[in-house]
Structure 1
């Protein structure tokens, strides 16, 4: 386990189109989170990108997993976790807009919607996300799927600086993921000392979801 080998895995997955991409044309970004796990010989990174896809009319937590100790599957794109229980009932025709007058049900929990009829779904979910992040993002069982049960959590990031063009800047060339690799290699969360301002908020990615 070395920093270079970790970055090599990130770059390989990026070459395959299986690295977290906030500029994905198929998903309107809503929320995101990174989880770093590791010990002296093992490492794993779990990335969550919560987004609304108009093509499937669904809110999905797109989970990527990387590491040298995954218990199943290959590094890269992992699970697609559908989050809203009643979206098909609220919008059976796939209009892409909230009809009004009803809660959004997430994992059995009814959430009041602070938006009026006709509000685009991505805006509805972006309003719900700040208050309901734990419900919308992965729970402990979902998060640890594919990881050794005893692998310690080193660091969790709710924001970071993401490369604007993964086709032009590989993760291994970008400050954020170089620092993440150092944390995973050393097991020392204090190695994460970024100088670049976070840009993961959805407002920084106006073209995402527009294909």
Structure 2
């Protein structure tokens, strides 16, 4: 591959929205890093784009020789938490953790100390009385610059490729403004980086007009702490009618429609109510999508029936259960028909081509489109 061909591939990824865009409103930037690993003709290039939406997140983009998939390969969302509980990740609550200027938070599960004094906040030039999540992540980066990046082992595990030696990394380079039509080939940095990869000569890398400082890519709204109102759930008993046929279930004696006051944290709310009694999950999605989405995250023993897209749970950790609840919601928004059996495992009836709710059991079903859910029971409430 020539440097021109490599640039052309990166440009194609940018046109397909599969290249880092630093002014992504859905992922306001706190800091970023690019790392090149190379050995002879084999190479791997990783971008880590760290920001904050509802939690601190590191978007990993990967490109390289021998990669099955290039572009965005993972969004790592267990980056920062306010306690050892990884779900305690709403960073603006840091200001309610006592009156001390220095607080302990957890970066990838490891405790670190962060100075949140007015002087420290002034050092990143934001309003101390209204700290937003993205500015708190930047504060962590300024004081603990290595705490937010993934290790080489973690990066290569994501791509399922052999680890190569690190030869170059930087947090400062000339990045194209993709939102206005600029491409990697327009950047001196990427022009010379492509040449360095092809010729195996790092001396030719020129960072160009460095513009990766976080505030170059943020608007004022991203720096304001926007309060998120807790989502409330409403439940109403409805007729079964055609529900069994439409949702491929049998054994529904009672049916409840579940709606929400907002779209924020719906799966977390349902997980808090039903997570501990979940028995198995049925995903009406492409099994390959499921495997690609979270197979590397599920470490506990489980049984997966690929033909019917059924996960039967066995000793699954709390975090992994929460991930399954989130995936069920996400899949329903994409048109999936996802069911979570409670109390007892669901049974698949191959003749009726439907899932049977055992006597005394219930099933939580995400409505197609993700706007509502249903609770189907095979018993009558007292």
Q: Does 1:89 align with 2:88?
A: yes
- Give me the TM-score of the superposition, normalised by structure 2: 0.48
CA distance in 1, matches of 2:176, 2:107: 31
Q: Residue 122 of structure 1: SS of its match in structure 2?
A: helix
- Per-residue deviation at 1:99? 2.7
Relative to structure 1, the CA distance from residue 19 to residue 201 in structure 2 (aligned partners, 3 Å threshold; closer, same or farther) is same
1:45-194 matches, within 5 Å, as: 45-53=45-53, 57-70=54-67, 73-82=68-77, 83-86=79-82, 88-89=87-88, 91=90, 98-101=95-98, 103-115=104-116, 119-145=131-157, 146=159, 148-194=161-207
Report the equivalent of 2:26.
Answer: 26
Bigger shift: residues 1-10 or 113-122: 113-122
Q: Residue 144 of structure 1: SS of its match in structure 2?
A: helix
- Per-residue deviation at 1:90? 6.1
Bigger shift: residues 131-140 or 25-34: 131-140
CA distance in 2, matches of 1:187, 1:151: 14
CA distance in 1, matches of 2:145, 2:43: 25
- Per-residue deviation at 1:162? 1.0
Q: Residue 136 of structure 1: SS of its match in structure 2?
A: coil
- Per-residue deviation at 1:149? 2.6
Q: Residue 184 of structure 1: SS of its match in structure 2?
A: helix
- Per-residue deviation at 1:63? 0.5
Report the equivalent of 2:256.
Answer: none
Structure 1 runs (4+) deviating above 6 angstroms are 94-97
- Per-residue deviation at 1:96? 7.3
- Give me the TM-score of the superposition, normalised by structure 1: 0.83
CA contact (8 A) 2:55 2:89 kept: no
CA contact (8 A) 2:176 2:182 kept: yes
Report the equivalent of 1:10.
Answer: 10
Q: For residues 81-125 of structure 1, what are the alpha-carbon distances to aligned partners after superposition, in whole Å with 9 as ceiling and x for unaligned?
A: 12024474364xx97774332532112222333226852222211
Relative to structure 1, the CA distance from residue 96 to residue 25 in structure 2 (aligned partners, 3 Å threshold; closer, same or farther) is farther
CA distance in 2, matches of 1:170, 1:45: 17
- Per-residue deviation at 1:190? 0.3
Q: Residue 135 of structure 1: SS of its match in structure 2?
A: coil
- Per-residue deviation at 1:150? 4.9
Relative to structure 1, the CA distance from residue 98 to residue 26 in structure 2 (aligned partners, 3 Å threshold; closer, same or farther) is farther
Q: Which structure would you say has the larger Rg?
A: 2
Q: Residue 89 of structure 1: SS of its match in structure 2?
A: coil
- Per-residue deviation at 1:26? 1.1
Q: Residue 88 of structure 2: SS of its match in structure 1?
A: helix
- Per-residue deviation at 1:126? 0.9
CA contact (8 A) 1:27 1:208 kept: no
Q: Residue 219 of structure 2: SS of its match in structure 1?
A: coil
From 207, 219, 235, give the equivalent of 1:207: 219
CA distance in 1, matches of 2:205, 2:42: 18
